[in-house]
Amino acid sequence: MGRHGLKYFLICFLALLFLGIVRFSYTCYSLMFTPMVSGPHNEILIKIDKASSASLFVHHLKSKKLISSESFFLFLIRIQGYSNRLKAGIYRIEDGESAAHFLSRVVAGDVLKLFFRVTEGTTKRQVVADLKQAPYLVYQESDWQRVAEGNPEGLILADTYQYDAMSSGADLLGHAHETLEKYLDTIWQQRANDLPYKTPYELLIVASILEKETATPEERRLISGVVVNRLRKHMPLQMDPTVIYAQGEAYRGKLTHEDLKIDSPYNTYRYRGLPPTPIAMVGRDAIDAAAHPKQSNFLYFVARGDGTHCFSASYEEQKKAIAHYLRTKS
């Protein structure tokens, strides 16, 4: 090969090399930095198990037509040292997201965030039903051991909690319990003087009764005052929600006189003092109301039928109020 031939060969080689680099760069850019999905689309979720390899992860993306080249994307993952750094979990493909950005989120463990609501006044049984329906939450009955060894009723704060997809119910319940304990301890330190409660747990029991007795925030402190007044006079509390709780699934929507005679420590018509445990999950407002009752001479109250109550200081007043609102309903 002559001098001119060698020069021609080098020029061709460099040109081909340049074109190869351009094509490689374009392929890298197209694969890594263009949107994985274009146009309107349904929610796309990618699940990565703990045992998943980088190859399986890439194959899953290719099967959903999110990347154009399985082998090339796997090559890019390996040269960046990401093969063993992919975090298990469920990930949502964001609108306009590139493969490079999605890969960085998987390496960072930026999994799908979901929310679980513990509603004020719900019981453990109702919370369990909601936990079983919560998407991508790994729940089992033993998760409640993070809350209490015994009866966990009332021991998680009614609130909205964020959790990672595929996280455990134990972590969620543990967080909800710790949130309750912190708030309850704070309010216990700030409680009104001379309350007839010996422990924060007793305060929580009263808060659960208030949560079930009224959905009207303005009335909680009034009913809290009635509870205090009756306890101080050693009167039975006679709170219907405690009897309803004692009935459990047998409750059919209305209490009868026979129901008020059932032999249960939760029957506050039959037994004086507080029931042995809370009867529901409570929110912050109910705890505040239990700790800061409104002072009055009220000992009784009756439902008006519109969600509010009429309060009375004597049994005679109470009987008149009952008769009045019974006539109103009929």
Asked whether residue 2 carries a pLDDT value surpassing 60, the answer given is no
Distance CA 197, CA 266 (A): 17
CATH architecture entry for 43-111: 2-Layer Sandwich (3.30)
Percentage helix, strand, coil, to 5, in the chain? 50, 10, 40
State the average pLDDT over residues 145-166: 96
Q: Which pLDDT band, with edges at 50, 70 and 90, does 9 fall under? A: low
Asked whether residue 299 carries a pLDDT value surpassing 70, the answer given is yes
The DSSP output letter for 144 is G
- Tell me the pairing of strands 113-117 and 160-164: antiparallel
Asked whether residue 92 carries a pLDDT value surpassing 80, the answer given is yes
- Are the beta carbons of 219 and 227 closer than 8 angstroms? no
In the chain, domain spans: 43-111, 113-183, 192-329
17-64 tens-digit pLDDT: 655 565 655 555 555 667 888 766 778 999 998 888 999 999 999 999
Average pLDDT, rounded, for the chain: 90
Asked whether residue 330 carries a pLDDT value surpassing 60, the answer given is no
Asked whether residue 308 carries a pLDDT value surpassing 80, the answer given is yes
- Are the beta carbons of 225 and 298 closer than 8 angstroms? yes
Exposed / middle / buried, residue 271 (Cβ in 10 Å: 0-12, 13-18, 19+):
middle
Instruction: Show contacts of 73-82: CB within 8 Å, 24+ apart.
Output: 73/31, 73/99, 76/28, 76/31, 76/32, 77/103, 78/54, 82/54, 82/107
97-124 tens-digit pLDDT: 888 899 999 999 999 999 999 999 999 9
Residue 157 CA from chain centroid, whole number:
10
Q: Which residues, at least 6 apart from 173, have a Cβ–Cβ distance to it below 8 Å?
A: 143, 144, 146, 147, 156
